[in-house]
Structure 1
Amino acid sequence: MNTVFLLGTGVFWTAAYVLLIRTGLREHTFGMPVVAFATNISWEFMFAFVRPPSGVTHVINIVWFCFDLAIGYTVVRHGRSEFPYLSGRLYLPALTALLALAYPGMNFASEQFDEGAGTITAFGSNLAMSAMFLAMLAARRSARGQSLGIALAKLLGTACASLAMLTDPDPAPRYGSAPHALPLRRLPRARPRLSVRPVDRTPGRPSLTSMSALAAGWQERSAGSTMVSWGTAAAAAPVPSEAAGGRRPAPAAVGGRKGEHRHAGSEDGREAG
C-alpha cells in the first residue's frame, strides 16, 4: 500500500508540473511563485544528485528536476513583467542570489531537522508553496498562471505523500542515528564511589584505627593532668588567717561604690597602725 501511495504522489505532482509549464507558456507568465521555485529546485537537485534515495523515488526526483528546469525557463523568460518595481537589470542577479541562498538553506534544514533526509523539508516546502500560491493569486488579482487542475493535482499529490508517510513499513524514528546527532536515550546516572582505604594488617605495625585511639587517649590524659596540676597549685597557695594578726582583704568594690571602698581601706589602715 505504501508503494501505491508513493506512485500516486509521483503521478499527481508530475501532472501539476506539466500543467504549470503548459499554463505558463500559454499565458506568457510563470505559474509557480519565485521563492517556491527556488526552494523546490534546490530540493530536487539535492535528492536527485547529491543525496539520492534508492528505488523508484530516485527516478521520480530526476524527472521532477527536469520539470523544474522547464518552470525555471518561464520564470526567467516572463518574470520581469511580474515585478515592475524592480529594474530589468537587477532581476536576473536577484534571481541568482535567491537560488544561491535557497540551496544551503534547504541543506541546513535537512541536516539539522531530518538527519539529511528529505521528508520534513519536502513537507515544509510544500506548505510554504501552498501559501505562496494564495499570495500570488491575491497579488495578481486573477488566476493568471494558475488553474483548477493545478490546484487539484497538487492537492491529491500532497494527500498521497501524507498517506505514504503514515503507511511507512519502517516508521522507527531516525533521530540519534546520524554521527552528528545527539542520542535521545537517557544516560544512566553516575553512582558515587566510596573510597575506602585498605587496612594494613602487617604484624607489629599499628593500624590507623589504633593510632587514632592512642591519640584520643593521650589528649584525654593530658587534659586531666592539666586540671590536676591547676587544682594542686590552688590548694597549695597560702591563705592569710585572722590568727596571724591580719584580716582577710575585702573584695575590691564588690557591690559597692568607689568612695565606700576607699573609706573601708583607710579604716583598715588605722586599725593596723
Structure 2
Amino acid sequence: MKKSILKMGIALLCAIIFSSVITLTADAQQPAGIKNIVLVHGAFVDGSGWKPVYDILVKKGYHVSVTQQPLTSFDNDVAAVKRVLAMQDGPCILVGHSYGGAIITIAGNDDHVAGLVYIAAHAPDNGESEGGNGKLYPSAYKSLQKGADGFDYIAPASFYADFAADLPKSIAEFTANAQMPVADAVFHAIIQNPAWRTKPSWYMVAKADRIINPDLERMYAKRAKSTTVEIEGASHSVYESHPEDVAKLIIAAATGATAKK
C-alpha cells in the first residue's frame, strides 16, 4: 500500500514538473506582440555589442537579427539595414544605438517596421543632421580623431572614459582597439521623411552619456513623443552595460507597437 502511494506521488510530481517545462517552453516560443527584432549598431563599433541584449530576447522567444552595416556612407548603411529588414517574415521592431538612430530614422519607413526604439541615439528631423544637432547640444567628449582619408575614430586611450565608463575596463579596452572607423560624412547626412513622425517610438536616455549630450537625447524623445526611460549613471554603451533595461524597453515596444500604430 505504501509503495503504491509512493509511486502515485512520484508520478504526480513528474507530471507537474513535465507540465511546468511544457508551459515554460511554450511561453519562450510565443513572445507577446511582435516577434521580430532588428538591432542596429552605432558608429565606431559593430553588432557584437548587442549580444547581451540578443541573448535575453532570444531566451524570451523573439527572433532577433543584428545588422553589420559598413559605416562607409549613410546610404550604404541604410541599404545594409533594409537588406536585413527584407529578410523578416512579418512586422518587426527596429532598434538603433547612437548613429544607428539616424539610420533607423530613414530605414524605419520600411513596411516591415511597426515601431522604433532609440537607445542613446540620434533621431534627426527633416533637414537636420546629427552633426548639426550635436553643435546645438555639445557633447562632453573631446577624443574624436579625424583621419586623413575621411574616416573618424575615438582615441583608444580615451575610449573607456568617453564611450564605455560603466563597462568593465577590459571590455572597453578591447572595444577601443577593435573599433570600426567611420566615414565622417555619415554624421552630416541630411535627414528627410523621418519614420518617427508616422510610427510609434520608444527612447532610452543614458544619463551619463559623454558622446551624445543627454539633453539632446531628451529633446529627441520629447519631439518624437516617445515612450521614454532614463538610466542613471549609464554611459554611451548603455546598450551593452544595461542589457536588461534595454531588453525591457524593446519588449515594451514589441507589445505596444500594434496598439499604437
Higher gyration radius (CA): 1
- TM (normalized to structure 1)? 0.25
- TM (normalized to structure 2)? 0.26
Q: Which has the higher strand share?
A: 2
